[in-house]
Amino acid sequence: MRKLNTLIIGSGAAGLAAAVRLHAQKVENIAIYTEGLKMGTSINTGSDKQTYYKLGMYGTEGDSPCMMAKDLSAGGSVHGDLALVEASLSPLAFHHLVSLGVPFPHDVYGQYAGYKTDHDPKRRATSCGPYTSRDMCRSLIDDVQRRGICVEEHRLCYKLLTDKKNTRAVGAIFLNMETGDWEVVKAENVIFATGGPGGLYAASVYPKVHTGGIGIGLEAGAQAYNLAESQFGLASIKFRWNVSGSYMQVLPRFVSTDQDGKDEREFLREYFATPAEMYDAIFLKGYQWPFSAGHVPGSSLIDIFTYIETVERGRRVWLDYRSDPADLDFSALNDETRTYLERSGAWEATPLKRLELLNAPAIELYRRYGIPLDKEMLEIAVCAQHNNGGLAGNIWWESVNLKHLFPIGEVNGSHGVTRPGGSALNAGQVGAFRSSEFIAAKYQEETFTDEAFEEIAAEEMRQVQAMQSVPAQLDWKQERLTLQQRMSKAGAFVRSFANVEAALNGVYKQYDALTADGFGGLTPKALTDVLRNRQLCYAQIFYLECILMQIEYIGSRGGSIVLCDDGRAIHPLLAEKWKVQEEKKEMREYVMVCGKGENGMISIGWEKCRPVPECDGWFENIWREFRTGDVYNNDVTHE
3-state SS track over 131-168 = CHHHHHHHHHHHHHHHHCCEEECCEEEEEEEECCCCCE
Q: Mean of the pLDDT values across residues 563-586?
A: 96
Cis amide leading into 275 (omega within 30): no
Residue 385 is predicted with a pLDDT of: 95
Note the pLDDT tens digit of each residue in 13-67: 999 999 999 999 999 999 999 999 999 899 998 887 899 999 999 999 999 999 9
Provide the H-helix boundaries in 272-398: 275-287, 301-307, 335-343, 351-368
Residues 6+ apart with CB under 8 A from 5: 27, 29, 30, 187, 188, 189, 439, 443, 444, 446
Number of C-beta neighbours around residue 238 at 10 A = 13
CA–CA dist 161, 419 (Å, integer): 33
pLDDT on residue 167: 97
Residue 637: pLDDT band by 50, 70, 90 thresholds?
Answer: very low
Q: How far apart are CA 405 and CA 170, in angstroms?
A: 8
Between CA 237 and CA 239, with CA 238 as vertex, the angle to 5 degrees is: 85
Q: What percent of the chain has pLDDT over 70?
A: 99
* Distances, alpha carbon 82 to alpha carbons 122, 605, 607, in Å: 20, 19, 14
Q: What is the pLDDT of residue 201?
A: 97
Round to whole Å and give the CA distance between 30 and 191.
10
Main-chain phi, psi angles of 6, to 5 degrees:
-135, 125
Helix or strand holding residue 64 (H, E): none
Under the banding of pLDDT at 50, 70 and 90, the label for residue 130 is confident
How do residues 478-504 score in pLDDT, each as one tens digit?
A: 999 999 999 999 999 999 999 999 999
Q: Is the pLDDT of residue 638 over 60?
A: no
Helices (H), 186-274: 214-220, 246-249
**Cα gap 411→396, rounded to integer Å:** 15
The reported pLDDT for the residue numbered 379 is 98
Angle made by CA atoms 174, 175, 176, in degrees to the nearest 5: 115
Q: How many angstroms separate the CA atoms of 550 and 236, rounded?
A: 29
CA 78, distance to chain mean position in Å, is 16
What was the pLDDT predicted at 20? 99
Question: Which tens digits make up the pLDDT trace of 322-351?
Answer: 999 889 999 999 999 999 988 888 788 899
The answer to whether 244 and 232 have CB atoms below 8 angstroms apart is: no
**Mean pLDDT for the chain overall:** 95
CA angle 217, 220, 224 (to 5 degrees): 50
Mean pLDDT of 179-188: 98
Question: What is the structure's pLDDT at 635?
Answer: 60
CB 538 within 8 A of CB 219: yes
Q: Rounded to whole angstroms, what are the CA distances from 335 to 330, 338, 340?
A: 10, 5, 8
Per-residue pLDDT, averaged over 281-302, amounts to 94
Beta bridge partners of 391: 224, 412
- Tens of pLDDT, residues 82-125: 999 999 999 999 999 999 999 999 999 999 999 988 888 899 99
How far is it, in rounded angstroms, from Cα 52 to Cα 490?
Answer: 31
Residues 338 and 350: their CA atoms lie apart, in Å, by 15
Residues 6+ apart with CB under 8 A from 531: 156, 158, 175
SS3 609: coil
- Summarised one tens digit per residue, pLDDT across range 297-322 is 999 999 999 999 999 999 999 999 99
Which segments within 2-130 are labelled E, that is strand? Answer: 2-9, 30-33, 51-53, 125-127
Count CA atoms within 13 Å of residue 436 on its CB side.
26
**Alpha carbons 606 and 552: distance in angstroms, whole number:** 14
Q: 634 pLDDT band (50/70/90 cuts)?
A: low
Distance CA 486, CA 528 (A): 22
Closest CA to 118 of 242, 209, 20, 210: 242
Residues 6+ apart with CB under 8 A from 638: 394, 400
Q: pTM of the predicted model, to two decimals?
A: 0.96
Residue 271 has pLDDT above 70, yes or no: yes
Residue 639 has pLDDT above 80, yes or no: no
